[in-house]
Amino acid sequence: MKTIKGPALFLAQFAGDEAPFDSWDAITRWAADCGYLGVQVPSWDGRLFDLEKAASSKDWCDEFKGKAAENGVEVTELSTHLQGQLVAVHPAYDAAFDGFAAPGVRGNPKARQEWAVDQVRKAITASRNLGIGAHATFSGALAWPFVYPWPQRPAGLVEAAFDELAARWRPILEHAEEMGVDVCYEIHPGEDLHDGVSYEMFLERVGGHPRACMLYDPSHYVLQHLDYLQNIDIYHDRIRMFHVKDAELNPTGRQGVYGGFQSWVDRAGRFRSLGDGQVDFGAVFSKLTQYDFDGWAVVEWECALKHPEDGAREGAAFVRDHIIRVTEKAFDDFAGSGADDAANRRMLGLD
């Protein structure tokens, strides 16, 4: 068995224009001061990261990693959540997602998609240059507007959406194979890959590609009323990344999973800081350890109530307390008899 690495922190929710969140040097020192050993990097945020340089220069990547190490943290993974979202966008969401793209391709869905694919490919190359074997992203979505089967979906509609989604991602997965990097799709509402069944539909269409892996985040399963522990039993061979995020679902006589169009604070289902929600993280860490998860426990702070800096500091301690240092011996070794093959045969009455 292997001991999960961590704690690490996803920096996307913390990067900003004020110190210490406005530069790579300052934010890594702050993360280390909070108790983190690693950081997951949003590749789109120019205040922290230069994707073009990272994809083209291993020397730049070595300097980038070196500054983090000097400040006490390791670079765990890169993320292209925003760019991955733009690999596939249904027209209903064009305006909503256009702001994720570079200004020069906004308002042009074809150019935006091409830009997004190029961004993800560069981030995979940059991951190789950084010596990182897993990359975090979203799948994007073509079928999501039809997630609820009313009006009745025409025969073949969902199948056509997943065929197209797979066609867009397959060349990216082939590039990932060349780079030796797993593409870890965060299974997330709003994406076509939002639960196990939809992930399997995609996986079938990319031929079970070995690089088409999962980012496991139990908070998204709580909000769908999905069994997040059994999910690990089913997909542990594909889970290569772990976001430690809490959530709660408290349905009432007025609202449930869909939330009644309310803001996050007023929804029946909402994200919470670690320990304030309903996820049984003792069981989650036990399951992942049981299945030899060989990655980082990365805190993704999202909470409708608590201040982010409090959530970050509490999160580091929370993860540290939940990581299981695996045993190198069996608890009953003290009672071992040291039997050999001959003794075993005698015990079985075979001699």
- pTM value is 0.96
Structural domains of the chain, ranges and CATH numbers in brackets: 5-347 (3.20.20.150)
What is the residue-level pLDDT of the chain in tens, covering all 351 positions?
899 999 999 999 999 999 999 999 999 999 999 999 999 999 999 999 999 999 999 999 999 999 999 999 999 999 999 999 999 999 999 999 999 999 999 999 999 999 999 999 999 999 999 999 999 999 999 999 999 999 999 999 999 999 999 999 999 999 999 999 999 999 999 999 999 999 999 999 999 999 999 999 999 999 999 999 999 999 999 999 999 999 999 999 999 999 999 999 999 999 999 999 999 999 999 999 999 999 999 999 999 999 999 999 999 999 999 999 998 887 777 677 777 888 888 889 997
- Check if the beta carbon of residue 78 is closer than 8 Å to that of residue 123: yes
154 secondary structure, DSSP code: P
**Residue 171: cis peptide before it, omega within 30 degrees of 0:** no
Give the DSSP letter string of 228-265.
HHHHHHHHTTTEEEEEE-EEEE---SS--TTGGG--GG
Euclidean distance between CA atoms 81 and 14, whole angstroms? 15
Question: Radius of gyration (Cα) for the chain, nearest Å?
Answer: 22
Per-position b or e across 153-175, b if 16+ CB within 10 A of its CB: eeeeebeebbeebbebbeebbeb
What pLDDT sits at residue 187? Answer: 98
What pLDDT sits at residue 335? Answer: 72
What pLDDT sits at residue 113? Answer: 98
- Check if the beta carbon of residue 265 is closer than 8 Å to that of residue 305: yes
Euclidean distance between CA atoms 282 and 287, whole angstroms? 9
